[in-house]
Structure 1
Amino acid sequence: MTSTRCPAAHQDDPTPCDGPPAVTVLDRHNAGLDGCEHHGARLLASLEGGRVYPLPDAPEGAAIRVFKAAAELPPFLFAREA
Structure 2
Amino acid sequence: MTRCSAAHPDDPTACGGPVAVTVLDAKGAGVSGCEHHAARLLASLDGGRVYPLPDAPAGAALRVFTAADALRPFCWDTTTPRTRPEQLSRAEARAARDA
Q: Is the pair's TM-score, using the shorter chain for normalization, greater than 0.5? A: yes
- The DSSP-based 3-state class of the residue aligned with 1:42 is helix
Match of 1:63 among 41, 61, 64: 61
Identity rate of aligned residues, in percent? 70
- The DSSP-based 3-state class of the residue aligned with 1:38 is helix
Paired with 1:8 and 1:79, the residues of 2 have a C-alpha distance of: 16
Q: Which residue of 2 aligns with 1:38?
A: 36
* Structure 2: runs of 5+ lacking an equivalent: 80-99
So what's the TM-score if we normalise by structure 1? 0.93
* Structure 1: runs of 5+ lacking an equivalent: none
Query: Looking at both structures, which has the greater relative contact order when contacts are Cα pairs under 8 Å and sequence separation is at least 6?
Result: 1
Counterparts of 1:1-82 in structure 2 under 5 Å?
2=1, 4-80=2-78
- The DSSP-based 3-state class of the residue aligned with 1:77 is coil
Highest Rg: 1 or 2? Answer: 2
Residue correspondences, number: 79
What's the CA shift for 1:80?
1.8
Paired with 1:29 and 1:45, the residues of 2 have a C-alpha distance of: 16
